[in-house]
Structure 1
Amino acid sequence: MDKKTEEFYIRLKEELGNTSTWPGEYLYKFIVPTDAKKVEEVENAFDNMGAVIKTNQSKTGKFTSISINVTMESPEDVVAKYIEVSAIEGIISF
């Protein structure tokens, strides 16, 4: 992980610790190239967590946005999940 990404996650963890109550709901948003395998990889990362997952294809059909609302235990868990899914090729987190 590069230094800029690492700094982002450190800042995110601090902000979540200061602005949210844990355990608590967190909304992840991702964009992946439209490919059933990639969408499934993201969904599988949240399997058995009670997550509510919504997908939506872009107008051109090239990309799929994935919104995942899930209860997380701590800011550290939120960041760990971002790092886990960052291994999926082509994924964009926001």
Structure 2
Amino acid sequence: MNPQENPEAFYKKLKAQLKDTSIWPSEYLYKFIVKSSPEKIKTVEDIFDNLGAVITTKASSNGKYTSISINVRLKNPDAVIAKYKEVSEKVEGVISL
């Protein structure tokens, strides 16, 4: 199930899984794919600014897309979901993995 098809069900399931599998606060690894655009990459990076996140980017072999990995310590599952929602609202065409 991906968040674009049924966001409420996706986030409800994710929250339950995060509660069951982690002790909070905890490290969480986000993975996003965006069309290679400095503006889109910067927008994603700015969303996680001032959180102590470790952010790595990697362009696809043809350079059309960029994967963004973000490792960050968050206080609870609601904080994880809030960041997913913020990225999906601010970055057009983002794919969340």
User: Per the shorter chain, which TM-score range?
Assistant: over 0.9
Shift of the 5–32 alpha-carbon distance from structure 1 to 2, 3 Å rule, reads: same
Partner Cα separation in structure 2 for residue 59 and residue 3 of structure 1 = 28
- Normalising by structure 2, report the TM-score: 0.93
1:31-50 equivalences under 5 Å are 31-50=33-52
Alignment equivalent of 1:67, drawn from 69, 74, 80:
69
Aligned residues: 94
Shift of 1:3: 7.2
Give distance in 1, aligned partners of 2:5 and 2:46. Answer: 28
Alignment counterpart, residue 79 of structure 2, candidates 68, 77, 88: 77
Q: Which runs of 5+ in 1 are unaligned?
A: none
- The normalised TM-score by structure 1 is 0.96
Alignment-derived partner of residue 91 in structure 1: 94
Task: In structure 2, list runs of 5 or more residues that go unmatched.
Answer: none
Deviation at 1:29, TM superposition (A): 0.2
User: What is the aligned-residue identity percentage?
Assistant: 54
- Give the CA deviation at 1:90: 1.2
Q: Which residue of 1 aligns with 2:31?
A: 29
